[in-house]
A and B are shown apart, each in its own frame.
Chain A
């Protein structure tokens, strides 16, 4: 991201327009409140603006790097709220599908395809596998915390997490039917 070095506000604006929607959606999903999600995005993007040259292209895309920063910040907020459970719904089909396909760039279309695949894979997972994955990723809970929360043996949580992730990965590898 050479614009970081140049401190190019206009380029940063384009960057926000490209990834801000996904970032905000993720923050809202984790935090469950619009105000908290907005604060999270403001802080995360300002942090990227000020120190964003840390992006390492060998470790993934700008988008996944940005979303990981947003996720970590949102999880920190969540952890600072004692006893607050994460929102656990998974119904984004309607909004994504409502976008006119003509508006999608090739990159967006690929993301749309990925989203469809992941949603499809998640919907096909047994509830118990889906739940541990969502608690881990969107709730920021460790395996031990999930085991205690669901009153399950730790080994069961570990097994469900691995199986669930492998199924999602398999779905991505195979592509849509």
Chain B
């Protein structure tokens, strides 16, 4: 790439930083960014300028009524959730069905259709995790289930073509996902984990990123009824639904 071409790239980096790059050019620039230290450095350098822009707007006092409305909705939400939680515990004690997940979720089929890997007939969940594994291409495969000591249970996935190994350690109801061999993420990308329960894919709230050694970990607060744990690369801030194919998937034996 000559100097003029690189100047053009740097102009695109500025537009990307402020969110004004034309949508058709974003993917191409992100590919370039992944392998260009100079452009990554430019993006890192410009980002504080963009983050500072909203701090400079004319201050307007929000109306007190807005705060009251907002907090009324939040408290009503919290109360309803508490009530549902209590009811679910009661149902659970009686052996009845569990409540629906509270977080936003997406059906696995919907996810796959959204990723243009449709054209296949998806069966409801039995073995579906492995189907996802196959279509994702290059991701690891499960090699061990049931390892561990004491109350812990470990499921490991060997490195696939993309070199990523994964391990899920479940203890009581809590899970720890550990990845190794993860390449550095392009600027503006983050790792997001997803769990699958009854054919529904839910986001794991905490986003994460690999360290310099390519290791990345996150916690899954509840492993109850989870049949697979997946990880995708998502835009900074995370996504409500997966927007990319998984880089790794760990089928969980239930």
- Mostly helix, strand, loop or mixed at chain B's interface? helix
Residues of A113-159 at the interface with B, using a CB-CB cut-off of 8 Å, are 114-115, 117-119, 122, 133, 136-138, 140-144, 146, 158-159
Docked-complex contact B49 and A169, CB < 8 angstroms: yes
Taking the closest CB of chain B, its distance from the CB of A126, in whole angstroms, is 16
Q: How many residues on chain A are close to B (CB under 8 Å)?
A: 71
Query: Within the complex, which residue of B18, B56, B237 is in contact with A161, where a contact is CB–CB below 8 Å?
Result: B18
Say yes or no: B50 contacts A9, CB within 8 Å. no
**Residue ID in chain A nearest B236 by CB atoms:** A59
* A89 and B190 contacting across the interface, CB-CB below 8 Å: no
Report the separation of the CA atoms of residues A111 and B59 in the bound assembly, to the nearest whole angstrom: 12
Contact, CB under 8 Å: B56 / A119 = yes
CB neighbors of B among A9-24 (8 A)? 9, 12-13, 16-17, 20-22, 24
Q: Is the CB of B78 within 8 A of A7?
A: yes
Residues of B within 8 A of A7 (CB): 78, 81
**Residue A106 at the chain B interface, CB threshold 8 Å:** no
Q: A169 and B71: CB pair below 8 A?
A: no
> In the complex the two chains form, is A91's CB within 8 Å of B55's CB?
no
B240 at the interface (CB under 8 A from A): yes
Determine whether the beta carbon of A41 is less than 8 Å from that of B62.
Answer: yes
Decide if A56 touches B207 in the complex (CB within 8 Å). Answer: yes
- Which residues does chain B contribute within 8 Å of A59, judged by CB atoms? 190, 207, 209, 236-237
Q: Is B238 an interface residue (CB 8 A)?
A: yes
Please give, as numbers and ranges, the residues of chain A lying within 8 Å of B49 by CB-CB distance. 118, 165-166, 168-169, 172
Are A55 and B18 also in contact (CB < 8 A) when A21-B59, A46-B70, A169-B48 are?
A: no
Q: Do B56 and A71 touch (CB < 8 A)?
A: no
Indicate the size class of the contact surface on chain B.
Answer: 35 or more
A91 to chain B, nearest CB (A): 6
Q: Across the interface, do A158 and B46 meet the contact criterion of CB distance under 8 Å?
A: no
B74 at interface, CB cutoff 8 A: yes
- How far apart are the CA atoms of A40 and B18 in the complex, in Å? 21
User: CB distance B52 to A118 under 8 Å?
Assistant: yes
The chain B residue sitting closest to A91, CB to CB, is B58
Binds A, one of B8-16, B92-100, B112-120, B166-174: B8-16
Q: Which residues of B contact A (CB under 8 A)?
A: 8, 10-15, 17-23, 45-63, 66-67, 69-71, 73-75, 77-78, 81, 103-104, 190, 192, 203, 205-209, 221, 236-238, 240
30 contacts between A and B (CB under 8 A): A5-B221, A7-B81, A9-B71, A12-B74, A13-B74, A24-B60, A24-B62, A25-B57, A25-B58, A26-B54, A37-B60, A38-B62, A41-B70, A50-B103, A54-B205, A54-B238, A59-B209, A59-B237, A60-B236, A92-B58, A114-B52, A136-B15, A143-B20, A161-B11, A161-B18, A162-B14, A162-B15, A165-B50, A169-B46, A169-B49
A sample of 4 more A-B contacts (CB under 8 A), given A67-B54, A138-B57, is A13-B71, A21-B61, A24-B66, A54-B192
